[in-house]
Amino acid sequence: MNDARTLPPSAAAAQLLLCMIWGLGQVATKVGNTGISPIWQAALRSIGATLLLVAWIAWRRIPLGDRSATLVPGIVAGVLFGLEFVFLFVGLVYTTAVRAVLLLYSAPFFVALGAHLFVPGDRFTRNKLLGLSAAFAGLLLAFGDRLTLPDAHALVGDLLCLGAAFMWGATTVVIKATALRRAPPETTLLYQLAISAVLMVALSYAFGEPGVFAPTPLVWGALAFQTVAIAWASYTVWFWLVSRYRATTLHAFTFLTPLFGVLAGALLLGEPVSPALIAALALIAAGIVLVNRA
């Protein structure tokens, strides 16, 4: 692994591209929801990405390691991963992509809290506490802005997206605190995608979703982008980068993702961005930087 704190231009450009792709994720989900039921859309995304990942593992002959030690935490991580996207995709039926990306990227702070409690040696530091404080202030601003609007359904959507952030953070803590930490990253991703696919198919059926109800080229394109570009390709590139460069250096870029997400929601969907949301975004982005420098 290259331990340099400064990434070479090619790696920095790749990480910047990943942040842009991840920032577009909520816009793509919002578009997909116009023609595919939210949980079924999330299930199709995981099914497609699982098949692509299995093909990639077989083609590259990637060893998956000893699965006896990772099976139970892998199932737990997969369930949490699935619930994350159930909450997020359903939440995006009621709230905007701008707000969803802002709330979703409070996840690093749930990770910091969970790691302090469950991961030996990963304790609070001054930077983490400052980052958590900034993030909490950002969330208060975001929800304060929402409470000025008399729309109960939108508030439910916001809470679901915050729940998705919690599930994302919980998934990360499970990975950090169990044998998954030593497993090949492809093994961990395969657990998440495959288990979440089964869970979400079951939940979609249980809730009686209509499934694909208004397919258009744009809807299929949004689903393909999520499946190929986000759930498979971007995570594969991310793991490749992590295997070669310092994770802390790469994570320093992640504050850009909510910035790109807010910009995408405003430009592509015409969603409103209030001054309070801009201030909340600045606080959450600053918090991400502080937590990742800890």
Task: Walk along the chain (294 residues) in steps of 10 and give the mean pLDDT of each run.
Answer: 64 89 95 98 97 95 87 96 97 93 85 78 76 81 67 85 93 89 90 97 97 96 97 87 71 81 92 87 82 66
Count of domains forming the chain? 1
Residues whose CB is less than 8 angstroms from the CB of residue 42 and which lie 6 or more positions away in sequence, other chains included: 82, 85, 86, 88, 89, 196, 200
Residue 141 is assigned to a structural domain of this protein: yes
Q: For position 142, what pLDDT does the model report? A: 77
Residue 4 is assigned to a structural domain of this protein: no
Number of Cα atoms under 13 Å in the Cβ half of residue 168: 18
In whole angstroms, what is the distance from residue 193 CA to residue 42 CA? Answer: 10
Residue 3 is assigned to a structural domain of this protein: no
Residue 101 is assigned to a structural domain of this protein: yes
Residue 1 is assigned to a structural domain of this protein: no
**H-type helices in 207-269, by residue range?**
217-224, 235-242, 247-251, 256-269
Q: For position 294, what pLDDT does the model report? A: 57
Number of Cα atoms under 13 Å in the Cβ half of residue 248: 8
Q: For position 49, what pLDDT does the model report? A: 96
Q: For position 148, what pLDDT does the model report? A: 60
Side chain identity, residue 5 = R
Q: For position 119, what pLDDT does the model report? A: 76
In whole angstroms, what is the distance from residue 2 CA to residue 36 CA? Answer: 43
Q: For position 2, what pLDDT does the model report? A: 54
Residue 254 is assigned to a structural domain of this protein: yes
In whole angstroms, what is the distance from residue 123 CA to residue 129 CA? Answer: 10
In whole angstroms, what is the distance from residue 269 CA to residue 27 CA? Answer: 7
Q: For position 120, what pLDDT does the model report? A: 75
Question: pTM of this prediction?
Answer: 0.89
What domain range is 231 assigned to? 9-293
